[in-house]
Amino acid sequence: MGLSDPISEIPRLGVGLSFQDTLSNFVCEHLDAFDYLEVVPDSLWDDRGRGARPRYEEKQAFLDLLGFVAEHKPIIGHSIGLSIGTDDDIDPEHVEQIATWQKRYQFPWHSDHLSFNRLDHASGHSIDVGFTMPVPYDSAVLDLLASKVDTMQRRVPAPFLLENNVYYFQIPEQEMTEAEFLNRLTERTGCGLLLDLHNVYVNSRNHGFEPREFLEGFDLTRVVEMHIAGGLSVEGAYLDAHSGPCPEAVWDLLDWVMPRVPNLGGVTFEVFSTYYPKMGPERLLEELARAREATADHFAATAAC
């Protein structure tokens, strides 16, 4: 990518917390426990749909909270609303709304998921299936995604990352492996990778592969951010439920991957709002402290550069 590659100039922030509404008090009371706050912008506004004016109704209580946090910590956007894998045109209003938030909070980078959840239904309505469905790793899909990533990069002046997906069923006869597909996408567009280690762990458990071997296929120099989280088993499947502390296997994976991600800007811990009350602030503080310990060498070394 050369000297001008923005990925190599990413700020090294440290350990972040993924914001959920039930974490509001924790965030205000424990600002020192994390180095940045990651927000899902789409969950902090109501999208009234294409054509509605105003289309996006932002929630004042969250704006107040983010205004307070932004005085102390960087804020990162991690969206769910792009549905970049859908075979349609990118939604320009959504992109502009993300650009508005990037400008307002100065996201040093921002991201979305490599998947699809929204599309026009046969009934003529636009539907949202509500979870990140996989796209086939084919060359035609790569062309589609590359063009949408280009649009994001042109409209939003901060590095854009895509997150590796968690999937519960497999699409057969794919033209590329997941690693090949993501390597080509990041090489072609210059976008970064949000490597969710819990997603890798979930997929490895449900589909029976060795996560380190899998990660060896990736160009890990494109990793700007990593996610860590916990999950649970339901009806024979292990779910990416963000339900509490990280499994030991995910900490082990983090230890293995840390020396291999020279452009890493942050590691974010994710817990869903409904599970946080059960987890409690003490346990969350322990997870954040452990993440800091696991990444301290990297951030100390890169800060010294």
Partner 1 sequence: MTLHGFQQALSELVLSSDLRSQVADRGADALGAFDLDPRETRRLLSIAEQSGLGTGILIHRSFRLSMLVRSLPRACELLGAGLSDLVHDYWDEHLPLHYNFVWESCRFAGYLRRQLEDGSLTEPLLSDLLRIDLASMALRRGLQPEQVALDPRPGAGDLLEASTPNRLVLFCGHDPRALLTGDDPGAASPSRGEYRLVISRQPGGDLEFESA
Can you give the binding site for partner 1, defined by CB under 8 A? 46-49, 59-61, 86-88, 116, 118-123, 125-131, 133, 135-136, 138, 140-141, 144, 167-173, 206, 234-237, 239, 274
Q: By C-beta, is 168 or 214 nearer to partner 1?
A: 168
Task: Please give the full DSSP string across 224-282, using - where no structure is assigned.
Answer: EEEEEE--EEETTEEE----SSPPHHHHHHHHHHGGG-TT--EEEEE--TTTHHHHHHH
Residues 289 and 277: their CA atoms lie apart, in Å, by 19
Q: Strand 110-113 to strand 116-120: parallel, antiparallel, or no bridges (unpaired)? A: unpaired
Instruction: State how far the alpha carbon of 292 is from the alpha carbons of 16, 131, 144, in Å.
Output: 9, 30, 37
Nearer to Fe ion among residue 73 and residue 227 (C-beta): 227
- The interface partner of residue 196, options being Fe ion, partner 1, none and the CB cut-off 5 to 8 Å by kind, is Fe ion
171 binds, among Fe ion, partner 1, none (CB under 5 to 8 A by kind): partner 1
Q: 141 touches which of Fe ion, partner 1, none (CB within 5 to 8 A by kind)?
A: partner 1
Binding mask 227-246 for Fe ion (x = CB under 5 A): x-------------------
Give the x-and-dash track for 184-213 against Fe ion (CB under 5 A).
------------x-----------------
Instruction: Tell me the backbone φ, ψ of residue 266, rounded to 5 degrees.
Output: -170, 155
* Contact partner, 227, from Fe ion, partner 1, none, Cβ < 5-8 Å per class: Fe ion
CB 240 within 8 Å of CB 229: yes
Judged by beta carbon, residue 72 or residue 121, the one nearer partner 1 is: 121
Q: Which does 239 bind (CB under 5 to 8 A by kind): partner 1, Fe ion, none?
A: partner 1
Tokens of 282: 């003490």
Q: Does 118 bind Fe ion (CB under 5 A)?
A: no
The rounded distance, in Å, linking the Cα atoms of 55 and 62 is: 18
In this structure, are strands 116-120 and 36-39 parallel, antiparallel, or unpaired? Answer: unpaired
